[in-house]
Amino acid sequence: MNDEVFYMKLHMQILIALGLGLKRNWHIFFGLIAGIIVGVFLHGHDNIFIMKVLVFVGQVFIRLIQMVVIPLVISAIIIGITSIGDNKQLGKFGSKMIVYYGIITLAAVTIGAFLALTIKPGAGAAQYINTEAAVQIQDQVSTSIQQQKGNVLNIFLNFIPENPLESVAKGEMIPIIVFALIFAVALAKVGEINRPVVSFFESIFAATMKVTDWIMYFAAPGVFALTATAVSSFGMDIFQSISKYLLVLLIGFTIQFCVVYPVFLKIFSKVSVLMLYSAIAEAMMVAFGTASSSATLPLTIACCEKRGISHKVASFVLPLGATLNMDGTALLQTVAVIFLAQAYGVHLGPFLIIQICFLAMIASSTCAGIPGAGLITIALILNGLGLSPEQLVAGFAFLFTVDRITDMLRTMLNVTSDAVVAAAIADNENEINYDLLNNPEAYKEII
């Protein structure tokens, strides 16, 4: 009977999560459905004015996304690193946390790259891409990669900005990230005197997240325009191509959730993955519903602390994980960029694949825990390939048609991996109550 009550409660949490997701994101779903309907109506009709308006709105949405990337990345890095501080926890938990998050994220990008290269989701989308645009992108990427291969040492040298402000002005993301990392570590080491500067970046981060939230409300007309443009140009056949992309992501997320996390816990701890998943079920479901790991963070901490993981570990590892650990996002970004490369006929050599995976790991760690952030920071990866999202409008139209679905799934994965790492560290440091964790009947109510 107790098992029946437990599973009834779990099903209720799933319904609550879905309700939260629809309540928060109804405008996105409406924009998507309306875009499909308008696109079908316009397909085969030569209405240049309407098409120009739709293309303009889609371009505005993508430019708004590009606008927030740099302040979002800089402030996220500085806040994440300075929050660790120069205290005893940095040595005790910090290094282990970084290694564990690195292992999980590396597994995610490897899985994403392998599946995308095997199933080739972007190959079917190539027929919908303008030939001239495809040739231009191929040449641009080829030139960029050849320049990088020509002098590998210069690649690493160019990671260090001569003038950080110039790098910001030019949108050179990797030098910006390197400077932000060095600056953040220095701020963490100087102690309390850093508070005015850190407070300044906390304000920037909060403001940028608010701007991003506004942009995601404009996502409704943006998604509407991108979807309508794509469907009107290519008809309903476009969804046959995007279904392959969605399939790759679903397989990748499933492997990460059902294989990588259990194996990780088996190797690095004695924690039962089934018990941990039961303990954080509410957080997982709300993460799915809200598509925001930041919004889910208080619930994630509550689930972990009230069900066996010490406050010392949960309060340190989980907030940093919500900022820096985004393995679901890294997997999505890897698949998305390879999808775009395949759609535009870009040759994916070993050097380019490794670069995409490396940049996805960096981009995901600078990604805000809010809806839509996965596709926002994809600009960082494309920048490393010598491209911008604006050049790939047709390809982005594909990605945004299923972004809301993938956003929910990748956020649930992000939140789950935070708890997995927290549980492993708690086990390693004897900061976990197994009597409580392994006894669902003793769990305190969360929602």
Q: What pLDDT does 213 receive? A: 66
The widest CA-to-CA distance across the chain, in whole angstroms, is 68
Q: 338 — alpha (psi -120 to 50), left (phi > 0) or beta?
A: alpha
Q: What pLDDT does 419 receive? A: 92
Q: What pLDDT does 20 receive? A: 46
Q: 349 — alpha (psi -120 to 50), left (phi > 0) or beta?
A: beta
Model confidence pLDDT, tens digit, residues 221-264: 877 887 787 677 666 666 666 788 889 999 999 999 999 999 99
Distance from C-alpha of 355 to C-alpha of 116, rounded to nearest angstrom:
15
Q: What pLDDT does 21 receive? A: 44
In a domain, 140, yes or no: yes
Distance from C-alpha of 273 to C-alpha of 423, rounded to nearest angstrom:
10
Distance from C-alpha of 409 to C-alpha of 413, rounded to nearest angstrom:
6
Distance from C-alpha of 289 to C-alpha of 396, rounded to nearest angstrom:
24
Q: What pLDDT does 214 receive? A: 76
In terms of residue numbers, what domain contains 291?
Answer: 2-442
In a domain, 163, yes or no: yes
In a domain, 301, yes or no: yes
Q: Do the Cβ atoms of 381 and 363 come closer than 8 Å?
A: yes
Q: What pLDDT does 85 receive? A: 58
Determine the residue type at 45: H
How many distinct structural domains can be found in the chain?
A: 1
| CATH number of the domain that residue 195 is part of | 1.10.3860
Q: What pLDDT does 421 receive? A: 92
In a domain, 351, yes or no: yes
In a domain, 51, yes or no: yes
Distance from C-alpha of 126 to C-alpha of 346, rounded to nearest angstrom:
10
Segments in the chain below pLDDT 50: 1, 6-7, 10-11, 13-18, 20-24, 447
Backbone angles phi, psi at 159, to 5 degrees: -65, -25
Q: Do the Cβ atoms of 212 and 68 come closer than 8 Å?
A: yes
In a domain, 161, yes or no: yes
In a domain, 447, yes or no: no
The DSSP-derived string for 30-51 is HHHHHHHHHHHHHTT---HHHH
Q: What pLDDT does 280 receive? A: 83
Q: What pLDDT does 1 receive? A: 42
Model confidence pLDDT, tens digit, residues 80-95: 677 655 555 556 667 7
Segment (H or E) for 206:
helix 195-234
Q: What pLDDT does 70 receive? A: 75
Radius of gyration of the chain (CA): 22
Distance from C-alpha of 290 to C-alpha of 25, rounded to nearest angstrom:
8
What pTM value is reported for the model?
0.68
In a domain, 308, yes or no: yes
Token pair of 356 as six digits: 């995409």
Distance from C-alpha of 324 to C-alpha of 81, rounded to nearest angstrom:
9
Backbone angles phi, psi at 309, to 5 degrees: -90, 130
